[in-house]
Chains A and B, each alone.
Chain A
Amino acid sequence: MGVLADVYEMLNTCNKCGGCHTACKTYKLTGIETMVARGRIQLIKAVADGKLEPNQEYEDAIMSCLLCGECAVTCPNGVHGNELVMAARRDLKLRKGITPFAKSFALKTLASPKRLGMGFRLFGGVGKSVLNKLDGMDYFRGIDIRNFPTAKKQFLEQVPERIKVQNPKHKVGFYVGCFLNYSLDQTAHSVVKVLTKNDCEVIIPKDQVCCGLPQYCYGDFETAKSNARQTINTFLDKYSDAEVVLSACASCASMLKHDYLKLFADEPSYLPKVKLFCEKVVEFSEYMDKIGVNQSQLHNSSPLTVTYHDPCHMVRGLKVTKQPRQLLQMIPRVEYKEMFEANRCCGAAGLVQAFFHEVSTDITDQKTQNIKDTNADLVATSCPACMLRLQGGINKAGQKQKVMHVADLMAKAYED
Chain B
Amino acid sequence: MLSQTVVKRLKEIVGEKNVVTDKVGLLTYGYDGTLLSGEALGVVSPTTTDQVVEIVKLMNEHDIKLVPRGAGTNESGGTIPSQEAVVISFTKMTKIHEIDTENFVAVVEPGVINFDLQVELAKQNFYFPPDPSSFKASTIGGNLGECSGGPKCFKYGVTRDYMLGLEVVLPNGKVIQTGGRNFQSEPGYDLTRIIVGSEGILGLVTKVFVRILPIPRAKKTMLALYDKVEDASQTVADIVAAGIIPTTLELMDNLLINTTEDFTHAGLPRDAGAVLIIEVDGYPEDMDEQVKTIGEIASKIAKEFKVAQTAVEVDQIWTSRRSAFGSVARVRPSYGVNDITVPRSNFPKAIGGVLKVAKDFGVTIGVVAHAGDGNLHPLILFDQRNKEETETVHKAEQALCMMALDLEGTISGEHGIGLVKKKYLDKEFTPAAMEAFRKIKRSFDPTNRFNPGKIIDL
Contacts and interface: CB of A to CB of B under 8 A. Distances in A.
Interface stretch (A12-20, A127-135, A263-271): A12-20
B111 A18 contact: no
Interface string B228-241: 00000000000000
B27 A16 contact: no
B182 interface: no
B32 interface: yes
A22 B27 contact: no
A76 interface: yes
Contacts of A22: 113, 115, 136-137
Interface string A66-80: 000000000111110
Contact of B137 (A9, A18, A42): A18
Contact of A75 (B73, B115, B326): B326
A46 B30 CA distance: 12
Contacts of B345: none
B333 A12 contact: yes
B28 A33 contact: yes
A76 B263 contact: yes
A58 interface: yes
B138 A61 contact: no
B432 interface: no
B157 to A, nearest CB: 24
Nearest to A36: B28
A21 B329 CA distance: 18
A128 B262 CA distance: 52
Contact of A17 (B28, B94, B134): B134
Contacts of B113: 21-22
Interface stretch (B18-26, B172-180, B350-358): B18-26
Contacts of B136: 19, 21-22
Interface string A1-15: 000000001001111
Of listed A15, A16, A39, A61, residue having the most chain B CB within 10 A: A15
A21 B115 CA distance: 11
B24 A61 contact: yes
A89 to B, nearest CB: 16
B226 interface: no
A411 interface: no
Contact of B262 (A15, A33, A57, A78): A78
A42 B334 contact: no
A16 B32 contact: yes
Contact of A46 (B27, B263, B324): B27
A47 to B, nearest CB: 10
A15 B329 contact: yes
Given A33-B28, A43-B28, A78-B263, 9 more contacts: A13-B329, A16-B31, A17-B326, A19-B137, A31-B92, A52-B23, A57-B24, A57-B25, A61-B24
